[in-house]
Amino acid sequence: MKSKQCAIALGSNLGDSLTILEQALEKLNDVPGLQLQQYSSWYETVPIGPPQPNYLNGCAIATVSESRSPLEILENLWAIEQQFGRIRRQRWGPRSLDLDLLLWENLILELPQLQIPHPRFRDRAFVLVPLAEIAPHWLDPVTGHTITQLQQKVNCTEVTLYQQN
122 given a catalytic annotation: no
Per annotation, catalytic residue among 30, 86, 89, 91:
86
Extract the runs of DSSP E, i.e. beta strands, from 13-157: 34-39, 43-45, 55-65, 98-104, 109-111, 114-116
Q: What is the pTM of this model?
A: 0.94
89 given a catalytic annotation: no
* Statement: residue 165 has pLDDT above 70: no
Instruction: Determine the pLDDT at residue 140.
Output: 98
95 given a catalytic annotation: yes
- Read off the CATH number of the domain in which 75 is found: 3.30.70.560
16 given a catalytic annotation: no
Per annotation, catalytic residue among 88, 89, 100, 123:
100
Asked whether 122 and 143 are in contact (CB, 8 A), the reply is yes
Residue 14 DSSP symbol = S
Handedness of CA 97, 155, 113, 3 (dihedral sign): negative
Q: Which residue range(s) make up the domain with 116? A: 3-161
**123-150: pLDDT as tens digits:** 999 999 999 999 999 999 999 999 999 9
Per annotation, catalytic residue among 98, 122, 124, 140:
98
CB atoms within 10 A of CB 88: 11
Give mean pLDDT, residues 13-20.
Answer: 94
Instruction: Determine the pLDDT at residue 87.
Output: 66
> Total structural domains in the chain?
1
* Statement: residue 1 has pLDDT above 70: no
